[in-house]
Amino acid sequence: MRAMVLERAGGLLREREMPTPDPQPHQILVEVLACGVCRTDLHVVDGDLADIPYPVVPGHEIVGRVVALGERAGAFRPGDRVGIPWLGHTCGACPYCRAGRENLCDAPGFTGYTLNGGYATHAVADARYAFALPDAYSDVEAAPLLCAGLIGYRTLGMAGEGERIGIYGFGAAAHLVAQVVRHQGRRFYAFASPGDTAAQDFARDLGAEWAGGSDEPPPDALDAALVFAPVGALVPRALAAVRKGGTVVCGGIHMSDIPAFPYRLLWEERVLRSVANLTRADAEAFLALAPQVPVRVTTEVFPLAEANLALDRLRRGELTGAAVLVP
């Protein structure tokens, strides 16, 4: 098989020929049809995350066609189209797994991070953590749903039932969750990088109540704020923008340091929390909801060999929606 391989932190991905893996008993082998490019992939490539097992194949928004399966991977059949997300496996035995909080598992595996992912022509995955995909979406459209969509959905769920939702960082996750907010009859306020008029216009096209720079206050006090940009300085700004009793949810796996801020920003029962990973229940709920909205997925497509270009475009904030690699 052909794969884009990361050999060291901060390095470029290298195109390599690798042996096509054989599926283990609970695994499926898929031919990759599309793989989304997520900001978490940047954190893997840049070495922001701990204990990366180099060399590694990034990519955790995988749409694939099953070509072989292990003897205990009975949920799928050859030819099935499946989605493979970030959560690759869990231990099932730790206190978090036993309590139904598998996203906090003590011994997890993560696709494209601790497990080889989808920047390749083929990938293996534990069939118990893969999902059938809605027929309403093409391969390219379905890929960003598998992390940008899922994490956005979980982040929104952590924000509570408020009407006015601020979204900081208007990229792949934001443009999907914003449509869910509107579908629920709520309003969203979009915060993009100062001067990024394209992102602000994109947000308005999706129905934003207001769109502006992340250095600007919103015209109304927010009930909750979702922070997708990995910029710690946005946290005090978001706290300042939410009303008394409001919630700020950080939706990324990595963020620059949060600067010191006065206690008054947190006082009056404001809540600051993070989201970690996802559960299979999140995936089942969101993938059922997306076609009902319907969530419209905006993508830019790149050949697999141009993975470095796609990552660089993401790093520089030059994408509208989500980048997707196609082998």
State pLDDT tens for residues 53-69.
Answer: 999 999 999 999 999 99
Residue 83 pLDDT grade (very low, low, confident, very high; cuts 50, 70, 90): very high
Scored b (16 or more CB within 10 A) or e, 162-182 reads bebbbbbbbbbbbbbbbbbbb
Compute the mean pLDDT over every residue in the chain, rounded to the nearest whole number: 97
CATH for 2-144+278-326 is 3.90.180.10
pLDDT in tens, 91-136: 999 999 999 999 999 999 999 999 999 999 999 999 999 999 999 9
pLDDT at 75: 86
Q: Could you tell me the residue ranges of all domains in the chain?
A: 2-144+278-326, 150-274
Our measurement of the distance from residue 119's CA atom to the centroid of its chain's CA atoms, rounded to an integer in Å, reads 16
How far apart (Å, rounded) are the C-alpha atoms in residues 322 and 38?
8
Helix (H) or strand (E) run with residue 141 in it: helix 139-142
What's the pTM value of the predicted model, to 2 decimals?
A: 0.95
Is pLDDT of 309 > 90? yes
CA distance 191 to 153: 18
For helices 197-205 and 172-183, angle between their N-to-C axes, nearest 10 degrees: 30
For the chain, give the number of residues.
327
Three-class DSSP category at 255: coil
Residue 38 pLDDT level (bands cut at 50, 70, 90): very high
Alpha-carbon distance of 91 to 94, in angstroms, equals 7
Mean pLDDT along residues 234-263:
97
Query: 244 pLDDT band (50/70/90 cuts)?
Result: very high
Query: For the CA atoms of 199, 201, 204, 208, what is the dihedral angle to 10 degrees?
Result: 40
The arrangement of secondary structure in 150-274, i.e. its CATH architecture, is 3-Layer(aba) Sandwich (3.40)
